[in-house]
Amino acid sequence: MNKKIFVLGIDLGTSGVRIAVLDKNYSLEYFASSEYKEGLENCEDWKHCCINLIKQIPFKIKNNIVACSVDGTSGTLMGCDYKGKSVGKALPYFKQCLTIKGNVITSLTSQEELFKRYESISKAVQLINEHGVNILLRHQADWISGWLLNNWSSGEEGNNLKLGWDLLKESWPIQLINTSWTNALPKIVPSGSLMGIISPNRSIELELPRGLKIIAGTTDSNAAVLATDAKSSEGITVLGSTIVLKRYTNNPIAHLGITNHKVGDKWLTGGSSNAGCAVLKQFFSDHDLVELSRQINPESNSGLSFMPLPSRGERFPVNDPYLEPILNPRPISDSLFLHGLLEGLAKIEAQGWEKLCKLGLKPPSKIISIGGGSNNPQWRRIRERLIGIPIRTCSKQPAEGVARLALNAIQKQSKI
């Protein structure tokens, strides 16, 4: 069959949207990105970025796209009405909702336990308190998938783990089922499954084929892992706005702060720190990060002890919503300050791998790094020195990973 076949991957990140188009041989045909104008809290910004990026895809490619899949930041939750219109701002994954008024679950004990175990539930309660029970609660990727379908009834399993979805039992916690807002929860579909066909109006608006299939996506960190095509013996570190560690395992690991996702016939287990490149950008521009990094000797210690969190609260390797950042005393030298921050981030990563090993996983034979931070050679050497495991950089984007998910799905349905 000589007809060109393409799939589209949409990656909704912390700072913007990236899209990738792959051909049927998994080769990258097209890539583009756009920064949010208003920021992660503005849901309409996500949509406008998608519209602008998709409209710019060359027609000869766009006309042959047969499937699309979306990933998004895990834990960024928003509310919308039944027609998909957003109500207020989204609550980003890093936002700690610690002062919830009222007892809106079955008992105060249940509420406190659920808040601690599932970080999106406190966000859900805040949105319900602000906008009432007659809304839909959707994570970032699910809302954009719903926009493509013009149907917001469903949500992908991995994006809803932090809202309480149990992959093993395939159900919501009984405490959520018994709330007055249980109808706000999505109907869960497996990652990689067919959600539906793009709506006629959206097809016309975006100039996409009318029969384009919308495939249930995954989280942004899982999409990054899929892009690496990693082996089971290898570990994956995603160095984006946050630091995310992932390993393929035969069985899930039940532990506070650990997430387990099902990808194909394997479990993808790991944890996500709130620390990452976002804290670096609080102090330095991209240009400064490159120039100052060149002044760092990665074989030496900075002598500084930072906890480089962007704000209060941590998820992994320790689960502590009250953990405070330590970013002082700041030395006079900017390069020394950056050196200390990079060391602090590397120590968090090292502690993360140690945590996973204590929970029963073997140390990875190699670490594959992906994300913007993986391109910094000085940081990579600091990480290798402190972690003690060889590190390889992968330049592929999460948008390519979620596109692979769409391609795998349609290949299972038919030979292309």
118 pLDDT band, cuts 50/70/90, is confident
- Whether the pLDDT of residue 266 is over 90: the answer is no
- Whether the pLDDT of residue 401 is over 70: the answer is yes
100 pLDDT band, cuts 50/70/90, is low
- Whether the pLDDT of residue 1 is over 50: the answer is no
108 pLDDT band, cuts 50/70/90, is very low
Per-residue pLDDT tens over the stretch 316-334: 999 898 999 999 999 999 9
Cα 132 to Cα 371: distance, rounded to the nearest angstrom: 38
Q: For residues 5 and 413, is the Cβ–Cβ distance under 8 A?
A: no
| Residue recorded with tokens 């601690």 | 116
- Whether the pLDDT of residue 99 is over 70: the answer is no
Cα 188 to Cα 159: distance, rounded to the nearest angstrom: 10
- Percentage of the chain exceeding pLDDT 70: 95
Cα 155 to Cα 269: distance, rounded to the nearest angstrom: 20
Sign, CA torsion 262/358/366/313 = positive
Strand intervals (E) in 26-135 = 28-35, 65-72, 77-80
Q: What residues have CB less than 8 Å from 291, skipping those under 6 apart? A: none
pTM above 0.85, yes or no: no
Distance of CA 223 to the CA centre of its chain: 8
Q: For residues 195 and 215, is the Cβ–Cβ distance under 8 A?
A: yes
pLDDT of residue 119: 83
Across all residues in the chain, what is the average pLDDT? 92
Overall average pLDDT of the 339-363 stretch: 96
* Domains with residue ranges and CATH for the chain: 6-220+402-413 (3.30.420.40), 221-398 (3.30.420.40)
pLDDT of residue 264: 64
pLDDT of residue 182: 94
| Residue recorded with tokens 């379908």 | 149
Q: Within 10 A of 211 (CB to CB), how many other CB atoms are there?
A: 10
